[in-house]
């Protein structure tokens, strides 16, 4: 999965790109929503221009408006979804942002809780993906920074982030995951 990393002094911003399949899947949803809302607009135009009564068309207008929004909002979310992580070395803070159009959902974490960068794989024989994670002690939820299909790219990103944040990069590819009991 391709993405971009920018370094500005003590700040590192990692953008995870939305797969093109997700953006492609949003188009039929937006087309269906547009069709439903267009029919609502045509019905309202007819009612307000004197060719119909709004009281007769109120239920279909409300149903088509509801269906148009119900189908269109997920399409809009798929089309405008962005996810990025900002690692601020000077403030010792991590900001994880999920953005859907104008809506931003931010989660703040303390950078001092994270001690190393790990590279892991998913044990899939057909298509192995290598995840670069920011990890801490037990009980600290790891932050997935990026996923790659080539190990060299994962090693390169982990090395660059480790150099900027002065954290060690550990390669756990091919090792068994820890049990949750330990």
Report which secondary-structure segment, H or E, holds 98. Answer: strand 93-100
What six digits make up the tokens of 139? 């009980």
Instruction: Looking at the structure, tell me whether residues 64 and 125 fall in a common domain.
Output: no
Same domain, 68 and 138: no
Last residue within a domain, chosen from 110, 131, 159: 110
151-162: pLDDT as tens digits = 888 899 888 888
Express each pLDDT in 16-32 by its tens digit: 877 788 889 999 999 99
pTM above 0.85, yes or no: no
* 179 alpha-carbon distance from chain centroid: 28
Rounded alpha-carbon distances, angstroms, from residue 135 to 34, 68, 124, 139:
44, 42, 22, 10
41 and 126: one domain? no
Range of 29's domain? 17-110
**Same-domain check for residues 22 and 106:** yes
Q: How many CA atoms lie within 13 A of 97 on its CB side?
A: 17
Is there a single domain that holds both residue 33 and residue 50?
Answer: yes
| Structural domains in the chain (count) | 2
Strand partners, 7: 12
Is residue 106 one of the residues assigned to a domain? yes
Going by pLDDT thresholds of 50, 70 and 90, the confidence category of residue 1 is very low
């Amino acid at each position: 999965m391709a993405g971009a990393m920018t370094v500005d002094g003590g700040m590192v911003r990692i953008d995870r790109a939305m797969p093109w399949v997700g953006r492609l899947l949003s188009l039929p949803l937006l087309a269906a929503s547009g069709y439903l809302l267009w029919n609502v607009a045509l019905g309202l135009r007819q009612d307000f221009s004197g060719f119909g009564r709004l009281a007769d068309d109120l239920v279909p207008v409300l149903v088509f408006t509801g269906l148009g929004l119900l189908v269109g909002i997920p399409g809009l979310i798929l089309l405008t979804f962005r996810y990025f992580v900002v690692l601020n070395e000077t403030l010792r803070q991590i900001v994880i942002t999920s953005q859907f159009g104008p809506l931003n959902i931010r989660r703040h974490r303390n950078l001092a809780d994270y001690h190393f960068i790990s590279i892991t794989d998913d044990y899939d024989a057909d298509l192995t993906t290598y995840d670069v994670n920011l990890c801490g002690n037990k009980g600290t939820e790891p932050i997935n920074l990026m996923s790659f299909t080539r190990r060299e790219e994962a090693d390169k990103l982990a090395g660059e982030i480790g150099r900027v944040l002065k954290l060690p990069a550990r390669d756990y590819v091919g090792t068994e995951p820890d049990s949750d009991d330990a």
